[in-house]
Chains A and B, each alone.
Chain A
C-alpha cells in the first residue's frame, strides 16, 4: 500500500467498533469478556482459547487432541507451536506444543499430540484426563521453525519421540501443497508401538510422490529400517544426499546435538533448522551461581545470591517495591526463565509464566525476569 493512503473502514466494522465502545462503558471495569465467559467459556475478546473436539490415545504414552480455537486464532505456519494452558489442582500450567495438522487445511481445527513424560505434570494430566468438550488456553502460533516458502530441492525431516509433531505438520502441508521434490522423513522412537502417526506415515511413503520413510526403534533393534542412534554412517544410509538437503530436526537434546555436529563438520550448519522443548533442569545450582538476566532492560549480571530486588537495585534498576518482606506483593514480577527460591518459605518456583515477589526471591542458577 503506498505510504500516506489511509484505507477507509467498512461501515459494518465502524458500527461494530461503536458497539464495542458502548459494551465497554457498560461492562466497565471488567470488560465484556468476563460476562460472556459466564455462558461461553471459550469466548474471549482477546485471549486465544480452544475447545477440545476429539481425544485419541493411539499409543500407550500419548494423547492426540483435536482443538477448535476461538476467533482470536489467526492460523499457523507448518512447524509452529502454541502455548497450551490447563488448570491442575487450581493452578494454571502452560506448555509448548507444536501443531501437527496440515497448516493449509482451512477447517479451523488444530491437532496437538502430547507425549506423557514420567515427571511431566501437564503431559500426564492430559494423557489421563483430557476429554472432549474441555476448554483450554492457547496463544497465537509462535516459532520460526517453519516449512520454507519455496520448495527446496530436498527436504530432510528428522525427529525423535514427541518431536514428530512439527515435522508431521510440515510433511502433511508439503503434500497438500502438491510439492514433489524428494523428502526423507527420519524418525526415532523407543518402540514400534510408541511411534505416533506410524500408519499414516507408511501410507504417505507408499503413495505420496518423493517421500521416503526411515524408522529407527532404539529399544527394538531389527524392527525398524535402521538401528542405533544418529551418526554419520546412519545418516548416509538414511538419506544419502543429506548434505544437499534443507534439514529440520526436532527431538531430545542428544539427537539435536548429534545433528548439529554432523552438519557443522560438513559446513552445512546454515541448512540445519532445529527446535526443542526440553525440560529445564531443576535447581541443581546453589545460590550465587549463575546469572540474572533483566530481560526488558537487557542487562545481565552475575548472581550474588541475594534476593532479586536487591540485585536489580544494585544493577541500577528501580523496580517497584513496598514492604520488602514478602507481604504486600507490590514487587511482583514475572519470572521468564529459571528457578528461584523463596527466602522465607524455601519454596522453589520455576518459570516461565510465574509471578514472583522479587524482594524474597533468590535466584538458583540462571534466571531471567521481566525487569
Chain B
C-alpha cells in the first residue's frame, strides 16, 4: 500500500529535514514573543468584554428594533471573539508563557458549553495529535456526518445535510456532547463512568450559560423578557453557525487528505508535520476576517504550531508556504466560498453510497484543492 508520504515522493531523510526546518522556524517566533503579543490579546479581551456589556445594556431598550439588533450583534461578536480568537487560543496554551493567571490554559474558562478541561483533552490532545487519521480523529464529521469516502456508508447517512444543519445551529452544545463521546460508549470503546463525568460537567456548564442567557438576563430586562431571550438565542445561533463554518473548513475542503492508522504508526516528527499540513486547509481573507475566525483561517500554521500565539500565523505563513514549495507539499488555501462550498458538496455527496478509494493516494488527489502551490 502506497502511503501518502510516498505518493508525494518524500523520503524519511527529507521528512527529518522538514522537521528541523519547522523546529527552527518555531524557535525563531518563540524568541520574539513579548509585550506586543500580550497587549494584543488583552485588547481583544477588552473589546470582547465591552461588546458583551454593551450588548446586554442595549437590550434594555430592545423594544426599539435598532437597539435589539445592536444588542444581538454585539453579543454575537462577543461570543465569537471569546470562543475563537481568545478562548481557543488561550486554551491551547498560546499565552502560558506570560504567567498571567488570566491567560493561563489551566485556569481559563470560556463562554462555550463545553468545559475547558474536557475540550482541551479531545482537542489539544486527541485532535491535534491524530489529525485526520481515519477512525482516530473524531473531529472527522464530529461523529454524526459522513464527511469522506473513507468511512463506510449506511442508510443513516442519507440524513447528512440535516445533521449538518442541526449541528450548525446547536454547535456549541454539539462540541459539549462531542466530548462525552456517546458513540464510543455505545461501541464499548469508552467506559460509561468516564463519559458520565464529562456529561455531568458539560450539562452543569451549559446549564449555567443557558440560565444566564435565557433566564437571568431576560428577567433583568423585566417586561422585555421574550425580546431579550430572542436576542440572546440569536447571538448563540450566529456564533454557532459561524464557528461551524470556520471549523468545517479546517480539515474537510477539497485537497485535505485523510491518513490510515497503519501509515501513522510510530510516525516520525517529520511525518507528523507533513500530516498536519496535508490534513489542513487555509481560508484567504482580510485581517478582520482572520481575527473573527480566531486565525483558524491559518489552519495549516495552527496545526504546525498550535501553541504559538495565533496572531503570528499571518506573519509566518509566507515562510511556511515556501518550505512546502521546496518539499513539494501542496499548500491548501482558497476563498471562504470555495472552501466551504466544497465542504457542502461533500456533505451531500457522502450522504449517498460510494467512496473514493482509500488504498491509492492518487485517487484521493483526484479532488484537486482550490488554489494549490505548484509542487
A residues touching B (Cβ–Cβ < 8 Å)? 22, 25-26, 28-30, 34-35, 38, 47, 87, 89-94, 322-323, 325, 327-330, 332, 344-345, 347, 353-355
Contact = CB atoms under 8 A, between A and B. Distances in A.
A213 to B, nearest CB: 41
Given A38-B50, A328-B129, A345 B216 contact: no
Contacts of A353: 99
B302 to A, nearest CB: 11
B166 interface: no
Contact of B124 (A25, A34, A35, A328): A328
Nearest to A28: B208
Interface centre among A38, A93, A94 (most CB of B within 10 A): A38
Instruction: Give 10 closest A-B pairs by Cβ, nearest first.
Output: A322-B125, A329-B93, A90-B38, A328-B124, A92-B99, A328-B125, A29-B109, A323-B129, A90-B35, A89-B34
Contacts of A38: 46, 49-50, 53
Interface string B38-81: 11000000100110010000000000000000000000000000
Nearest to A357: B93
Contacts of A26: 212, 216-217, 220
Given A87-B98, A328-B125, A344-B23, 6 more contacts: A22-B216, A26-B216, A29-B109, A29-B205, A329-B307, A353-B99
Contact of A34 (B26, B33, B98, B102): B102
B120 interface: yes
Contacts of B97: 90-91
A159 B92 CA distance: 46
A332 B98 contact: no
B3 interface: no
Given A322-B121, A355-B104, A28 B99 contact: no
Contacts of B27: 345
Q: Is the interface of B mostly helix, strand, loop or mixed?
A: helix
B110 A29 contact: yes
B106 interface: yes
B365 interface: no
Nearest to B87: A29
B25 to A, nearest CB: 12
Contacts of B125: 322-323, 328, 330
B128 interface: yes
B38 A327 contact: no
Nearest to B127: A328
Contacts of A47: 101
B306 interface: yes
Given A92-B98, A92-B99, A355-B104, A35 B208 contact: no
Contacts of A30: 109, 111
A48 to B, nearest CB: 13
B202 to A, nearest CB: 13
B57 to A, nearest CB: 12
Contacts of A345: 23, 26-27, 30
Given A29-B205, A29-B209, A90 B36 contact: yes
Contacts of B289: none
A327 B307 CA distance: 7
Nearest to A353: B99
B208 A25 contact: yes
Contacts of B345: none
B198 interface: no
A329 B305 CA distance: 12
Contacts of B157: none
Contacts of A344: 23
B236 to A, nearest CB: 14
A25 B269 CA distance: 45
A329 B105 contact: yes
Interface in B76-130: 92-93, 96-102, 104-106, 109-111, 120-121, 124-126, 128-129
A323 B128 contact: yes
B176 to A, nearest CB: 13
Nearest to A330: B125
A89 B212 contact: no
A345 B30 CA distance: 10
A355 B23 CA distance: 21
A340 to B, nearest CB: 14
